[in-house]
Amino acid sequence: MNRTIALAFLASGLMGIAGCSQEKGASFSAGQAVASVGQDFALQSVSVSFPPDKTAEFPAGAGADAINNNCRACHSPAMILTQPPLKHEEWVKEIDKMRTTFKAPVNDADVPAILAYLDNLSARQNEGSLAAPGGAATTK
């Protein structure tokens, strides 16, 4: 950055914006007893529905069946499809964490195919040809 730009701050310093002047805070204790919510405030029972998955299935590719069958019980495909490009050993660690810590019911026989799918996902992301869930391509 050149000196001309560095000097671009106005001579008087930064100009204040109307309505945004410095105010001294009153002495503040977060434990103080006050409430702007009146005693007539009442809670109402709530019943809602969560929406169905936006991207319900992993896009087609080698290993798609294995990942669809094993990796959707606990979370949306989007959780995996929005990960940054990960190295093979990082994906191995993630699968292990899901199985060991979070008790995901993943079949031993499906692990190689799941890993192949994930490695391909990262490879395509690295080369910039992968679409994000919802259809947008990478901004890379």
Q: By CB under 8 A, what part of segment 2-61 binds another protein?
A: 4-6, 8-10, 13-17, 20-26, 28-37, 39, 41-55
Tell me the site size for another protein, rule CB under 8 A.
77
SS3 track for 81-121: HCCCCCCHHHHHHHHHHHHHCCCCCCCHHHHHHHHHHHHHH
Contacting another protein within 91-110 (CB under 8 A): 94, 101-105
Smaller CB distance to another protein: residue 64 or 81? 81
Query: Do 117 and 60 form a contact (C-beta atoms < 8 A)?
Result: no
**What is the smallest separation between the CB atom of 115 and another protein, expressed in angstroms?**
15
In the complex, minimum distance from the CB of residue 14 to another protein, in angstroms, rounded to a whole number: 3
Question: Whole-angstrom Cα distance, residue 41 to residue 21?
Answer: 35
| Structural element, H or E, at residue 66 | helix 64-70
Cβ of residue 37: shortest distance to another protein, in angstroms? 5
86 binds another protein, rule: CB under 8 A: yes
Report whether 125 contacts 85 (CB < 8 A).
yes
Which position among 64, 68, 81, 92 is part of the footprint of another protein (CB under 8 A)? 81
Cβ of 58: how many Cβ atoms within 10 Å?
Answer: 21
Closest distance between another protein and the C-beta of residue 109, in Å?
A: 19
Instruction: Give the nearer residue to another protein in terms of CB position, either 30 or 109.
Output: 30
